[in-house]
Amino acid sequence: MKFAVISFPGSNCDWDMYYAINDALGEEADMVSSESTDLDQYDGVLIPGGFSYGDYLRSGAIARFAPVMKAVKKLADAGKPVLGVCNGFQILVEAGLLPGSLQNNTSMEFISDWAPLKVVNNRTMFTNGYSKDQVIKVPIAHGEGNYYCDDATLQELKDNDQIVFTYEENPNGSCDNIAGITNRAGNVLGMMPHPERAVESILGGTDGLTLFKSILNQVRS
């Protein structure tokens, strides 16, 4: 399976994602510039964390206009997996591929720590390797990770099983403890925690590797 890791000006987790796929997972990934306009050769897209375009205006607000995003939308519309992590989540929200918004942490401080997450929905292409309600540990590193949506949108997320991960100990004020959601079709996942930083024991844990293995399970089943 071949993934595109999208690198924007200011991305700083792109090589972490690249390593997770090529070395830890043993699959193929290319580093792809945000100026690219064609992703047809790829089976999935990974949008990493960092500070795209310096986080000017709002996190992800400028990145949504990058040339590559039209190709990302095309691939998402085709049902292929799209994963956005941290700033990648913010970009997906700004681009309209996921509902809601990401706001400043309620502490108004940048948080870097390990976070216990509950796998609320294990029936997605990103979570089929986990057990329902399994608690995993994945690193977080963000200043604007406070997920917000209005009541109607929150109810839709619940009704359609789009809430995939929730925090066991809410670090940022996210509504309903939300840490990760999918689109209604289930092939676009945005999450604030960093699974690519939890793919080897030497990094502190391997719970994140199961997410990437789940994608392979889905595609190859």
Give CA 82 to chain center in angstroms.
8
Task: Note if 196 is an active site residue.
Answer: yes
Q: How far is CA 20 from CA 14, 90, 175, in A?
A: 10, 21, 29
Q: Round to whole Å and give the CA distance between 76 and 185.
A: 9
Q: What is the DSSP letter of 155?
A: H
**Active-site hit among 27, 94, 144, 196:** 196
Q: Round to whole Å and give the CA distance between 9 and 31.
A: 13
Task: Note if 142 is an active site residue.
Answer: no
**Active-site hit among 27, 86, 94, 144:** 86
Task: Note if 194 is an active site residue.
Answer: yes
Pairing of strands 178-182, 188-191: antiparallel
**Active-site hit among 27, 142, 144, 194:** 194
CB atoms within 10 A of CB 197: 24
Q: Round to whole Å and give the CA distance between 204 and 141.
A: 15
Catalytic residues: 86, 194, 196
